[in-house]
Amino acid sequence: MIRKIEKTGLLLLLCLMGTVLSGEMNGVRASDVDSQDTESSQTISVELFKEAFERFVDRQPDLSSSDVVISKFKVVRNSPVPAGDVDIQLLRKNNRPLSRYVRVKAVVSVDGIPVSNAEVSAWLDVFEPVVCAARDLPQGHVLKRTDLSVARRNISKNMDEVVKHAGRLVGFMAKRTIRKGDMVKHWMVEKKPVIKRGDQVTILVESGLLRVTIPGKALDDGFAGETVSVENSMSNKKIFARVVDEVTVQVDI
Protein backbone atom coordinates (compact mmCIF):
# COMPACT_ATOMS: atom_id res chain seq x y z
CA MET A 1 0.00 0.00 0.00
CA ILE A 2 2.81 2.36 0.94
CA ARG A 3 4.63 1.48 -2.28
CA LYS A 4 1.52 2.29 -4.29
CA ILE A 5 1.25 5.72 -2.63
CA GLU A 6 4.94 6.34 -3.20
CA LYS A 7 4.60 5.38 -6.86
CA THR A 8 1.53 7.59 -7.25
CA GLY A 9 3.33 10.53 -5.63
CA LEU A 10 6.37 9.97 -7.80
CA LEU A 11 4.22 9.95 -10.93
CA LEU A 12 2.50 13.21 -9.90
CA LEU A 13 5.86 14.81 -9.19
CA LEU A 14 7.22 13.73 -12.58
CA CYS A 15 4.10 15.09 -14.33
CA LEU A 16 4.45 18.42 -12.58
CA MET A 17 8.14 18.62 -13.44
CA GLY A 18 7.39 17.72 -17.04
CA THR A 19 4.79 20.48 -17.28
CA VAL A 20 7.17 23.10 -15.88
CA LEU A 21 10.00 21.94 -18.14
CA SER A 22 7.73 21.96 -21.16
CA GLY A 23 6.56 25.48 -20.36
CA GLU A 24 10.11 26.72 -19.89
CA MET A 25 11.27 25.07 -23.12
CA ASN A 26 8.41 26.67 -25.07
CA GLY A 27 9.13 30.04 -23.45
CA VAL A 28 5.48 30.75 -22.64
CA ARG A 29 4.96 33.00 -19.64
CA ALA A 30 2.16 35.47 -18.84
CA SER A 31 4.58 38.35 -19.20
CA ASP A 32 5.68 37.05 -22.63
CA VAL A 33 2.07 36.91 -23.88
CA ASP A 34 1.46 40.50 -22.87
CA SER A 35 4.66 41.53 -24.60
CA GLN A 36 3.67 39.75 -27.80
CA ASP A 37 0.26 41.50 -27.80
CA THR A 38 1.97 44.89 -27.40
CA GLU A 39 4.47 44.18 -30.16
CA SER A 40 1.68 43.19 -32.58
CA SER A 41 0.23 46.76 -32.64
CA GLN A 42 1.57 50.28 -33.01
CA THR A 43 0.45 53.88 -32.45
CA ILE A 44 1.23 56.33 -35.24
CA SER A 45 3.05 59.45 -34.11
CA VAL A 46 1.59 62.92 -34.65
CA GLU A 47 4.80 63.81 -36.52
CA LEU A 48 4.05 61.12 -39.14
CA PHE A 49 0.54 62.53 -39.65
CA LYS A 50 1.96 66.06 -39.97
CA GLU A 51 4.50 64.96 -42.59
CA ALA A 52 1.66 63.39 -44.60
CA PHE A 53 -0.38 66.60 -44.22
CA GLU A 54 2.51 68.78 -45.45
CA ARG A 55 2.90 66.58 -48.54
CA PHE A 56 -0.87 66.76 -49.08
CA VAL A 57 -0.80 70.59 -48.97
CA ASP A 58 2.16 70.71 -51.39
CA ARG A 59 0.18 68.68 -53.94
CA GLN A 60 -2.85 71.02 -54.01
CA PRO A 61 -2.99 72.84 -57.39
CA ASP A 62 -4.77 75.88 -55.89
CA LEU A 63 -1.80 76.40 -53.56
CA SER A 64 0.99 75.77 -56.09
CA SER A 65 2.15 79.41 -56.07
CA SER A 66 1.49 79.99 -52.38
CA ASP A 67 3.63 80.09 -49.27
CA VAL A 68 1.70 78.16 -46.61
CA VAL A 69 2.31 78.33 -42.87
CA ILE A 70 0.78 75.43 -40.88
CA SER A 71 -0.09 75.82 -37.20
CA LYS A 72 -2.41 74.35 -34.53
CA PHE A 73 -2.01 70.85 -36.01
CA LYS A 74 -4.16 68.17 -34.36
CA VAL A 75 -5.03 64.48 -34.88
CA VAL A 76 -8.36 62.96 -33.79
CA ARG A 77 -9.18 59.23 -33.48
CA ASN A 78 -5.56 58.10 -33.69
CA SER A 79 -6.22 54.48 -32.63
CA PRO A 80 -3.53 51.75 -32.40
CA VAL A 81 -3.13 49.77 -35.63
CA PRO A 82 -1.48 46.42 -36.42
CA ALA A 83 2.29 46.30 -36.79
CA GLY A 84 3.60 46.75 -40.32
CA ASP A 85 4.42 49.40 -42.93
CA VAL A 86 2.12 52.40 -42.49
CA ASP A 87 0.72 54.61 -45.25
CA ILE A 88 -1.51 57.65 -44.63
CA GLN A 89 -3.81 58.98 -47.36
CA LEU A 90 -5.50 62.35 -46.79
CA LEU A 91 -8.80 63.16 -48.48
CA ARG A 92 -10.51 66.55 -48.84
CA LYS A 93 -14.06 66.71 -47.51
CA ASN A 94 -15.15 69.42 -49.99
CA ASN A 95 -13.84 71.63 -52.78
CA ARG A 96 -13.55 74.83 -50.77
CA PRO A 97 -10.14 76.58 -50.87
CA LEU A 98 -7.69 75.24 -48.31
CA SER A 99 -7.14 78.15 -45.96
CA ARG A 100 -7.69 79.13 -42.34
CA TYR A 101 -9.20 76.17 -40.39
CA VAL A 102 -8.94 72.95 -42.39
CA ARG A 103 -10.11 69.41 -41.59
CA VAL A 104 -9.36 66.37 -43.76
CA LYS A 105 -9.96 62.63 -43.50
CA ALA A 106 -6.91 60.41 -42.92
CA VAL A 107 -7.14 56.80 -44.15
CA VAL A 108 -4.49 54.69 -42.42
CA SER A 109 -3.27 51.53 -44.19
CA VAL A 110 -0.89 48.88 -42.91
CA ASP A 111 0.92 46.73 -45.48
CA GLY A 112 -1.45 48.10 -48.13
CA ILE A 113 -4.66 47.28 -46.24
CA PRO A 114 -6.87 50.12 -44.85
CA VAL A 115 -7.26 49.56 -41.11
CA SER A 116 -8.57 52.83 -39.61
CA ASN A 117 -9.86 56.33 -40.28
CA ALA A 118 -8.53 59.34 -38.41
CA GLU A 119 -9.07 63.06 -38.86
CA VAL A 120 -6.45 65.79 -38.95
CA SER A 121 -7.03 69.52 -38.60
CA ALA A 122 -4.80 72.58 -38.83
CA TRP A 123 -4.78 76.33 -39.37
CA LEU A 124 -3.36 77.43 -42.73
CA ASP A 125 -2.08 80.93 -43.40
CA VAL A 126 -1.73 81.38 -47.17
CA PHE A 127 0.59 84.04 -48.63
CA GLU A 128 0.41 85.00 -52.34
CA PRO A 129 1.30 87.96 -54.61
CA VAL A 130 -1.85 90.09 -54.99
CA VAL A 131 -2.79 93.51 -56.36
CA CYS A 132 -2.54 96.41 -53.90
CA ALA A 133 -3.06 100.17 -54.17
CA ALA A 134 0.21 101.96 -55.00
CA ARG A 135 -1.26 105.21 -53.62
CA ASP A 136 -4.49 106.47 -52.09
CA LEU A 137 -7.29 105.95 -54.64
CA PRO A 138 -10.35 108.18 -54.09
CA GLN A 139 -13.90 107.03 -54.69
CA GLY A 140 -14.81 107.34 -58.37
CA HIS A 141 -11.20 107.20 -59.53
CA VAL A 142 -10.58 105.24 -62.72
CA LEU A 143 -7.69 102.85 -62.15
CA LYS A 144 -4.55 103.05 -64.24
CA ARG A 145 -1.66 100.59 -64.21
CA THR A 146 0.48 103.07 -62.26
CA ASP A 147 -2.15 103.13 -59.50
CA LEU A 148 -1.49 99.47 -58.75
CA SER A 149 1.33 97.35 -57.35
CA VAL A 150 1.80 93.69 -56.51
CA ALA A 151 2.84 92.50 -53.03
CA ARG A 152 2.86 89.20 -51.15
CA ARG A 153 0.12 89.20 -48.52
CA ASN A 154 -1.73 86.80 -46.22
CA ILE A 155 -4.93 86.09 -48.17
CA SER A 156 -6.33 83.35 -45.90
CA LYS A 157 -9.44 85.40 -45.13
CA ASN A 158 -9.90 86.80 -48.63
CA MET A 159 -8.98 84.06 -51.13
CA ASP A 160 -12.13 84.57 -53.23
CA GLU A 161 -11.94 88.38 -53.15
CA VAL A 162 -8.35 89.28 -54.07
CA VAL A 163 -7.06 90.08 -57.55
CA LYS A 164 -3.77 88.57 -58.72
CA HIS A 165 -3.23 90.38 -62.04
CA ALA A 166 -3.11 94.19 -62.06
CA GLY A 167 -4.01 94.45 -65.75
CA ARG A 168 -7.48 93.10 -65.04
CA LEU A 169 -8.34 96.17 -62.96
CA VAL A 170 -7.21 98.87 -65.39
CA GLY A 171 -10.23 100.94 -66.42
CA PHE A 172 -12.31 99.95 -63.40
CA MET A 173 -13.66 102.64 -61.08
CA ALA A 174 -13.12 102.69 -57.31
CA LYS A 175 -16.47 102.29 -55.50
CA ARG A 176 -14.88 103.55 -52.28
CA THR A 177 -11.62 105.11 -51.16
CA ILE A 178 -8.80 102.55 -51.25
CA ARG A 179 -5.81 103.37 -49.06
CA LYS A 180 -2.21 102.97 -50.18
CA GLY A 181 -1.00 99.43 -49.50
CA ASP A 182 -4.51 97.94 -49.14
CA MET A 183 -5.34 94.82 -51.14
CA VAL A 184 -7.70 95.71 -53.99
CA LYS A 185 -10.66 93.34 -53.85
CA HIS A 186 -13.29 92.64 -56.48
CA TRP A 187 -16.08 94.30 -54.53
CA MET A 188 -14.09 97.57 -54.17
CA VAL A 189 -14.27 98.37 -57.90
CA GLU A 190 -16.83 98.37 -60.67
CA LYS A 191 -16.71 98.64 -64.42
CA LYS A 192 -18.51 101.79 -65.49
CA PRO A 193 -18.15 103.91 -68.60
CA VAL A 194 -15.34 106.38 -68.06
CA ILE A 195 -16.79 108.70 -70.68
CA LYS A 196 -20.49 109.11 -71.39
CA ARG A 197 -22.21 110.18 -74.57
CA GLY A 198 -22.29 113.96 -74.72
CA ASP A 199 -19.30 114.53 -72.42
CA GLN A 200 -16.85 117.26 -73.41
CA VAL A 201 -13.43 115.69 -73.94
CA THR A 202 -9.93 116.60 -75.03
CA ILE A 203 -8.78 114.83 -78.19
CA LEU A 204 -5.06 114.09 -77.97
CA VAL A 205 -2.91 113.47 -81.04
CA GLU A 206 0.74 112.51 -80.60
CA SER A 207 3.36 111.70 -83.22
CA GLY A 208 7.00 111.69 -82.19
CA LEU A 209 7.69 115.08 -80.59
CA LEU A 210 4.44 116.53 -81.93
CA ARG A 211 1.58 116.82 -79.44
CA VAL A 212 -1.75 118.38 -80.39
CA THR A 213 -4.91 118.74 -78.31
CA ILE A 214 -8.34 119.51 -79.74
CA PRO A 215 -11.68 120.01 -77.95
CA GLY A 216 -14.33 117.42 -78.75
CA LYS A 217 -17.54 115.71 -77.69
CA ALA A 218 -18.07 112.02 -77.00
CA LEU A 219 -20.64 110.36 -79.26
CA ASP A 220 -20.60 107.04 -77.35
CA ASP A 221 -20.24 105.74 -73.82
CA GLY A 222 -16.73 104.37 -73.42
CA PHE A 223 -14.62 102.32 -70.99
CA ALA A 224 -10.91 102.95 -70.43
CA GLY A 225 -8.91 101.54 -73.34
CA GLU A 226 -11.98 101.23 -75.55
CA THR A 227 -12.24 102.96 -78.92
CA VAL A 228 -15.22 105.34 -79.25
CA SER A 229 -16.46 107.87 -81.77
CA VAL A 230 -15.99 111.55 -80.91
CA GLU A 231 -16.78 114.80 -82.68
CA ASN A 232 -14.00 117.28 -83.38
CA SER A 233 -15.54 120.53 -82.11
CA MET A 234 -13.34 122.61 -84.43
CA SER A 235 -14.18 120.77 -87.68
CA ASN A 236 -17.43 119.06 -86.62
CA LYS A 237 -16.00 115.86 -88.10
CA LYS A 238 -16.44 112.47 -86.47
CA ILE A 239 -13.28 110.57 -85.65
CA PHE A 240 -12.38 107.49 -83.60
CA ALA A 241 -10.21 107.70 -80.49
CA ARG A 242 -9.18 105.55 -77.56
CA VAL A 243 -10.45 106.42 -74.08
CA VAL A 244 -7.57 107.41 -71.79
CA ASP A 245 -9.42 108.77 -68.75
CA GLU A 246 -12.54 110.71 -67.78
CA VAL A 247 -11.66 113.73 -69.93
CA THR A 248 -9.17 112.50 -72.52
CA VAL A 249 -9.31 110.43 -75.68
CA GLN A 250 -6.31 109.72 -77.89
CA VAL A 251 -6.07 109.23 -81.64
CA ASP A 252 -3.64 106.39 -82.35
CA ILE A 253 -1.49 107.14 -85.39
What pLDDT, on the 0 to 100 scale, is given for residue 96? 78
Q: Is the pLDDT of residue 185 over 90?
A: yes
User: Whose CA is closest to 217, among 245, 194, 197?
Assistant: 197
**Which domains does the chain carry?**
42-126 (no CATH), 127-190 (3.90.1210.10), 200-251 (2.30.30.760)
Which tens digit of pLDDT belongs to each residue from 187-217? Answer: 999 988 889 999 999 999 988 888 999 999 9
pLDDT at 171 over 70: yes
Q: Is the confidence at residue 8, as pLDDT, over 80?
A: no
Across the chain, mean pLDDT equals: 84
The per-residue pLDDT for 223 is: 86
The more confident residue out of 78 and 93 is 78
Q: How confident is the model at residue 149 (pLDDT cuts 50, 70, 90)?
A: very high
Q: Is the per-residue pLDDT at 2 higher than 80?
A: no
CB of 249 within 8 A of CB of 225? no
Percent above pLDDT 90 for the chain: 63
Rounded to the nearest 5°, which phi and psi values hold at 159?
-60, -35
Provide the pLDDT for residue 63.
85
Residue 132: closest CA among 156, 164, 159 = 164
